[in-house]
């Protein structure tokens, strides 16, 4: 890991260059220590919630000096220089300030200051709180045409929900660019009416109202939290924290620090999962840009922040990025983090989306970790339309909700054990690559009946044979067709359709058939979800995963 002063953007003598006529800018002030702190590790309840302490205790996460807040004596002294102090980072022992370049030099001269770093031009932060009203009524969506059946079926989420894992008791923080319209429409009504919105904060302006700026966060959040007719999220009964960290008006390094501070905020409340559909490689100021070599899992500020969140026991889910068609091509920070779950995108036919960012990382690790439906994902738009959109921004929260159900089912797991479980549950667990990662994560209730790590278990798109064709793919109706073109006599052929628990849904024995013959199998007793088709004879033995919706 590079030294702080090596990786930060500007040496102190260049600050004035970006601040003509003493323009107010935003800076990060890095402190040398946490001396004279009013807090003690013996009394963590003074700076962590009861829930946060309980989560750390459950998973043996150490409460250490990183958890102790920044020294109030230092922040008060900085403020005495007529500097606006807005946020602090206890994990990086730093203070986010807004001031002019001349005063920033005065701050840098303080003996307890290690460095002052320019992170964004202009004044954006305010002390004026515009807060938001808790909604009393909710509007019906503008249309009800789209269903979330496919995106749930791909991961067998229906079965997870039926088994009682809908995110109850799990706390998920969504870090994004704004949640415009999220507090207006029926699909997210339950979160508000059941008091499952635990906290919400705007770190971009400090204005107090997260339901502004952008509908991007609304769309991402809805894929997890919606509970409305045919549009069901992956964890519709979870608790939530909403944080605005992305400034949609521009792109500067401050957004990475916003993410860091929001993650600390969520950790102090006791969050289990952070999901973030954000990625950084280039900025409005080219001097801030990262290179591919920086995507090594430890250089980018936001990746380091993600690593610290993981160290504190949080499961971090992040979108891979939409750079697959661009010159950059690779995942963006923090998707390069080693112990997070980075999510790419597939289409409805399970092929990779062309825009989905790929690996490897600069230090040659596989990324993404898994994929989910990110092309044609059903979601709620800020104008109240239930529609479909494309992007790893929407495949990532689908997996966040899936992970909430997995952790709910296995509360004894640590965050890193959940990471390994998710990778193990992928359809390509035995042969990951830098496009699909470990594949689509599949919920299987009874791991003893059919294991997703069984190397003979193939997705239909992966099952290729010159002699056997199975269609349609995906399955829409109540019949599947199996075409046998081989001249080899594979009969008698036994065909079975099993659910993920191993229950027999349908079976058929074909004693004899002709080359090119077509076998039709009734699957009317099945509903939307994941199934296993078994073809067995003295000559072949295959298990193929099918999706019906």
**Is the distance from CB of 363 to CB of 453 less than 8 angstroms?**
no
Q: Are 380 and 226 in contact (CB under 8 A)?
A: yes
Contact 180, 215 (CB under 8 A): yes
User: How wide is the angle at C-alpha 228 spanned by C-alphas 132 and 154, nearest 5°?
Assistant: 115
Number of Cβ atoms within 10 Å of the Cβ of 437: 27
Q: What's the pTM value of the predicted model, to 2 decimals?
A: 0.85
Q: What is the chain's length?
A: 549
Q: How many angstroms separate the Cα of 47 from the Cα of each of 38, 241, 264?
A: 10, 18, 11
Equal CATH topology for 149-424 and 457-548: no
Locus of tokens 């079976």: 507
Which pLDDT value is given to residue 100? 96
Sheet containing 529-536: order of strands: 457-459, 541-548, 529-536, 493-498, 504-510
Please tell me the distance from the alpha carbon of residue 214 to that of residue 263, in angstroms, as a whole number.
Answer: 20
Q: How far apart are CA 457 and CA 451, in angstroms?
A: 8
Positive or negative CA dihedral for 94, 100, 106, 109?
Answer: positive
pLDDT on residue 456: 52
Interaxial angle between packed helices 392-409 and 415-424, expressed in degrees from 0 to 180 and rounded to the nearest 10: 110
**Residue for token digits 């932060």?**
125
* Domain spanning 149-424, CATH class: alpha beta
Residue 457 pairs with which residues in a beta bridge?
543
User: Which 8-state DSSP code applies to residue 297?
Assistant: T
Q: Does domain 4-34+70-121 bear CATH number 1.20.1050.10?
A: no
What are the boundaries of each domain within the chain? 4-34+70-121, 149-424, 457-548
Q: Give the ranges where 335-474 is alpha helix by DSSP (H).
A: 392-409, 415-424
Q: What is the pLDDT of residue 17?
A: 40
Cβ(237)–Cβ(269) under 8 Å?
A: no
pLDDT along the chain (549 residues), means of 10: 31 39 89 92 95 94 96 97 97 98 96 98 92 87 86 92 96 98 96 97 95 96 97 98 97 98 98 98 97 98 98 98 97 98 94 97 98 97 96 98 97 96 88 94 63 50 71 78 79 86 86 80 82 84 77
Report d(CA 94, CA 89) in Å as an integer: 5
CA distances to 50, 371, 438, 545 from 434, in Å: 40, 11, 9, 22
Tell me what pLDDT residue 5 has: 28
Q: CATH classification of 457-548 is 2.60.40.1930, yes or no?
A: yes
pLDDT of residue 536: 86
CB 450 within 8 A of CB 502: yes
Cis before 360? omega within 30: yes
By the 10 Å C-beta count (0-12 exposed, 13-18 middle, 19+ buried), 123 is classed as middle
């Amino acid at each position: 890991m590079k030294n702080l002063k090596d990786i930060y953007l500007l040496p102190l003598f260049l600050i004035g260059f970006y601040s003509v006529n003493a323009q107010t800018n935003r800076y990060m002030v890095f402190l040398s220590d946490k001396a004279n702190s009013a807090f003690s590790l013996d009394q963590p309840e003074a700076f962590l919630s009861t829930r946060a302490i309980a989560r750390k205790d459950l998973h043996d996460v150490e409460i250490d000096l990183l958890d102790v807040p920044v020294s109030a004596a230092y922040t008060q002294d900085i403020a005495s220089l007529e500097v606006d102090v807005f946020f602090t980072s206890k994990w990086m022992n730093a203070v986010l300030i807004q001031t002019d370049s001349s005063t920033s030099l005065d701050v840098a001269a303080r003996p307890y200051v290690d460095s002052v770093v320019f992170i964004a031009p202009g004044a954006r932060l305010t002390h004026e709180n515009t807060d938001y009203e808790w909604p009393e009524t909710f509007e019906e969506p503008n249309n009800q045409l789209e269903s979330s059946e496919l995106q749930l079926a791909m991961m067998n989420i229906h079965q997870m929900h039926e088994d009682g894992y809908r995110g109850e008791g799990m706390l998920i923080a969504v870090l994004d660019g704004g949640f415009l319209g999220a507090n207006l429409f029926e699909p997210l009504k339950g979160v508000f009416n059941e008091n499952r919105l635990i906290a919400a904060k705007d770190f971009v302006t400090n204005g107090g109202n997260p339901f502004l700026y952008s509908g991007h966060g609304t769309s991402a959040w809805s894929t997890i939290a919606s509970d409305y007719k045919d549009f069901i999220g992956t964890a519709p009964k979870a608790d939530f924290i909403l944080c605005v960290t992305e400034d949609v008006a521009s792109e500067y390094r401050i957004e990475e620090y916003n993410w860091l501070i929001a993650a600390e905020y969520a950790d102090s409340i006791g969050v289990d999962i952070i999901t973030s559909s954000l990625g950084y490689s280039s900025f409005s100021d080219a001097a801030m840009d990262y290179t591919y070599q920086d995507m090594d899992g430890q250089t980018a500020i936001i990746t380091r922040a993600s690593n610290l969140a993981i160290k504190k026991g949080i499961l971090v889910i992040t979108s891979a990025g939409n750079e697959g068609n661009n010159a950059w091509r690779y995942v963006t920070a923090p998707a390069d983090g080693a112990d997070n779950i980075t999510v790419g995108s597939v289409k409805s036919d399970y092929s990779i989306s062309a825009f989905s960012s790929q690996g490897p990382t600069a230090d040659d690790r596989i990324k993404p970790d898994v994929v989910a439906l990110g092309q044609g994902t059903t979601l709620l738009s800020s104008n109240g339309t239930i529609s479909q959109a494309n992007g790893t921004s929407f495949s990532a929260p689908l997996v966040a909700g899936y992970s909430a159900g997995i952790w709910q089912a296995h509360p004894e797991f640590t965050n890193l054990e959940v990471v390994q479980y998710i990778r193990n549950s992928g359809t390509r667990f035995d042969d990951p690559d830098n496009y699909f990662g470990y594949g689509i994560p599949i919920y299987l209730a009874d791991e003893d009946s059919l294991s997703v790590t069984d190397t003979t278990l193939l997705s239909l798109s992966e099952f290729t044979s010159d002699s056997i064709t199975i269609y349609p793919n995906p399955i829409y109706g109540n019949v599947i067709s199996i075409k046998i073109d081989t001249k080899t006599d594979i009969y008698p052929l036994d065909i079975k359709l099993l659910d993920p628990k191993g229950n027999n849904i349908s079976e058929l024995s074909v004693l004899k058939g002709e080359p090119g013959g077509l076998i039709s199998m009734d699957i009317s007793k099945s509903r939307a979800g994941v199934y296993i088709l078994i073809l067995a004879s003295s000559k072949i033995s295959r298990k193929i995963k099918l999706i019906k919706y």
